[in-house]
Structure 1
Amino acid sequence: MPAPASPPVTTRNAVVFLAVVAAVAALYWMRSILIPLALAVFLAVMIDSFARVLTARAPTLFPPRVALPAAVVLSILLFGASFWVVIANGKGFFDQLMDYIPRLNGIIAKVAHAVGIQVAPTIDSLINQLNPQRYIGQVASSFGNFASNALLVMIYLGFIIASRRGFARKIVALYPQHAEREQNMKLFQRIRDGVEQYLWLQTVTGVMIAGAAWVVMMLVGLDNAFFWAFLIFLAAYIPILGGAIGCFMPPLFALVQFPDSLWPAVILFCALQAIFFVVGNVILPRMQGDSLNMDPTVVLLSLAAWGALWGVTGMFLSTPLTVAAMLILAQFDGSRWIAILLSEDGDPQGERLLAAKPKKTSNPKIAGAKTSSQKK
């Protein structure tokens, strides 16, 4: 019997394009369900990576059975400390901001006179025109949605961590053939490594940027320097946009704090620009190497696309989600060309990089599961 003829390239590409459009529509339509699930998976990968680091660094103190609960507890403590820093410093920051209102009115008056406006508006008049009372319901609804989503994320995370023990048996049941199983395990490990590398890079570079920015802000004498440095560290997890926020916001507040001189704001802006430039263009590429293998233009486009689909959460997860999509698209002939365009060097699966490295043994848990299945 002759083999069925493969569809034309045009037809195949059209089907792939329609599938991508349908997937994007599904991501947007089901965002209320998928956003908490994606965050839970991201946190689960982070905790699993944390546990493996604890086991590798201190195997006697943190064996595999102890490492995961310890990683969960340490992660909760880290997130709790982050919320405490924001809440504890945020109140003083906003109280001090109220004291800056006369200075803000003076700056607005100078700008208004410079552009030819005779009667300059004030902060109070601008607030009255915005009529913040009409947004109280929306703000309350947003806080309610945040609380419910956070609870849903924690529930998803608990079930994901509880079900990880059966992952090896599921892989064996899904892919009985050893070669197929190894191929899919490599795909999973590549996605996991991409998420872990993204977390590691953003954390290390965020600490570098925040530490250097804190030193500069302390030298200039900017109020709430630690709070600003902590916000810059958090913003560093959002590619590109986080750097822009970190560069412009502290100098703007320096204009308010030092209304009689432009030099503190100028010094802050130039120093922060230099810090972001050195870290982003010198240190980060050397640390990153071929790990993520994403084109810089794709990073920018993915930030805009995922931000339009899932908001701030999409911006935060844009890079790991795009890495996962690129690796999955590279597995199929019809969509491999999309993965090649998304990659930086035309090798989305990292086959050349893997060929240059020594081969590792397969996962012992899966190997054990395979042996037991063969005995049966």
Structure 2
Amino acid sequence: MRDDRLSQFFLAILGVVALGFVLKVAKGVILPLVVAWLLYFIFAPVVRVMAKRKIPTFISTTVVLMVFIGVCFGGALFLNGRVQALIEAFPRYQARFAELLIEYSQSYNLPKYVVSNIDPGPMIGKYLLSLSTFFVGFVSNLILVVIFLVFLLSSAPYFERKIEMAFSKKHSRKVIHLLHTISLQIGRYLALQFMISAITGVLVWLALKSIGVDFSITWGALAFVLNFIPTIGSIVASVPPVVLSFVQFHPQMTPVVITALALFGIQQVMGNLIAPKIMGENLNLSPIVILLSLLFWGWLWGVTGAILSIPIASAIKIVCENVEQLKFIGVLMGSSRYMGKRPDATL
């Protein structure tokens, strides 16, 4: 019996490694499918409500997808315009930053190799140029996401009926309840996170604009996007405007300090005060699980994987809570703040 359990343990490890390899190699297809699957939980209730009002599925699906495509294209065009403006202005800021490096290296007698290692100009320029091709890759991925969504949303009004026909009455209720729980929790999380990120982006834009930092609306948009990445997203979003303010206002340090304090204050208030109160118990995940999920999915699929890490971890937790053999995993993934409470998704 002990040998069988040991064999199952190692087989499980091999299965996880094989799954990770497949997810990494087939990223181009699987990532759009995962994005479409998560979006399905948001859009499917809308399609079902429209179906109950006797609106044909084709029309409801078309309307939902047209709104989604319009929002995505509008956001992509806006971000692409901001990136192009940064690319045009980058040589001027790079030259100014190089002058400041030389000035400080002479003042503190720094070796030349230290100065060359500090200069981030070439790396930033490379990333800006790669971002300039973002729109092409975005369009190709969006096409795949829309194709997957068409098939998923087309079957949304009939999905519960299929579940009832495929399983017994008892098991069908469990499966439907599980899917509703995943849909509700992911939908709430994404909606609330979108609202919090939008408020954060607007506050960053207004604060930097009042200080006089260049490209304030760009840094607000960056804060909005990166705020979807837990823990490190807000930190990464705060670095570029602080560095830019140093280059822009030098030798005056007061605007630089005010910029850093303003960004720190906004991130602290939104991330540690407002977000937990608004989220409430919707995100019942351990901080360790959030960190591991962020590292794993970020390594696997880059920035997109980091953004999707929390919804994926939340869906895995809900499934584990509803499968008797995996319930212990769901408990371990939960936050210690709710240990005395029964999880909402438990059947």
Same-fold status (TM-score > 0.5): yes
2:243 to 241, 244, 252: 252
Give the alignment of 1:1-376 within 5 angstroms: 16-17=12-13, 19-48=15-44, 68-113=61-106, 114=108, 116-117=110-111, 127=122, 147-175=139-167, 177-345=168-336, 351-353=342-344
Shift of 1:267: 1.0
**1:45 touches 1:192 (CA, 8 Å); kept in 2?**
yes
SS in 2 for 1:335: helix
SS in 2 for 1:239: coil
SS in 1 for 2:44: helix
**2:36 touches 2:149 (CA, 8 Å); kept in 1?**
yes
Shift of 1:283: 1.0
1:303-348 per-residue CA deviation (whole Å, 9 max, x = no partner) reads 0011112222211110111111112223334432222111114979
Aligned in 2, Cα 1:161/1:51: closer, same or farther, shift over 3 Å?
A: closer
Shift of 1:253: 0.9
Hey, what's the Cα distance between the residues in 2 that align with 1:123 and 1:9? 53
Shift of 1:8: 8.3
Hey, what's the Cα distance between the residues in 1 that align with 2:313 and 2:198? 24
**1:13 touches 1:334 (CA, 8 Å); kept in 2?**
no
SS in 2 for 1:238: coil
Q: Could you tell me the percent identity over the aligned residues?
A: 24
SS in 2 for 1:70: helix
Hey, what's the Cα distance between the residues in 1 that align with 2:105 and 2:251? 17
**2:297 touches 2:309 (CA, 8 Å); kept in 1?**
yes
Unaligned runs of 5+ in 1: 360-376
**1:171 touches 1:181 (CA, 8 Å); kept in 2?**
yes
**1:251 touches 1:268 (CA, 8 Å); kept in 2?**
yes
**1:340 touches 1:346 (CA, 8 Å); kept in 2?**
no
**1:327 touches 1:339 (CA, 8 Å); kept in 2?**
yes
Aligned in 2, Cα 1:283/1:143: closer, same or farther, shift over 3 Å?
A: closer
Shift of 1:75: 1.9
Aligned in 2, Cα 1:51/1:225: closer, same or farther, shift over 3 Å?
A: farther
Hey, what's the Cα distance between the residues in 1 that align with 2:98 and 2:222? 26
Amino acid across the alignment from 2:142: A
Hey, what's the Cα distance between the residues in 2 that align with 1:213 and 1:131? 24
Aligned in 2, Cα 1:102/1:337: closer, same or farther, shift over 3 Å?
A: same
**2:43 touches 2:153 (CA, 8 Å); kept in 1?**
no
Q: Which moved more, 1:109-118 or 1:91-100?
A: 109-118
Hey, what's the Cα distance between the residues in 1 that align with 2:194 and 2:140? 27
Unaligned runs of 5+ in 2: none
Hey, what's the Cα distance between the residues in 2 that align with 1:198 and 1:108? 44
Hey, what's the Cα distance between the residues in 2 that align with 1:92 and 1:45? 36
Hey, what's the Cα distance between the residues in 2 that align with 1:15 and 1:242? 35
Amino acid across the alignment from 1:328: V
Hey, what's the Cα distance between the residues in 2 that align with 1:77 and 1:260? 44
SS in 1 for 2:322: coil
TM-score of the aligned structures, taking structure 2 as reference length: 0.82
Hey, what's the Cα distance between the residues in 1 that align with 2:239 and 2:142? 30
Q: Which moved more, 1:339-348 or 1:96-105?
A: 339-348
- The higher radius of gyration belongs to 1
TM-score of the aligned structures, taking structure 1 as reference length: 0.77
SS in 2 for 1:251: helix
Q: Which moved more, 1:233-242 or 1:301-310?
A: 233-242
Q: Which has the higher helix share?
A: 2
> Paired residues, what number?
340
Hey, what's the Cα distance between the residues in 2 that align with 1:261 and 1:50? 53
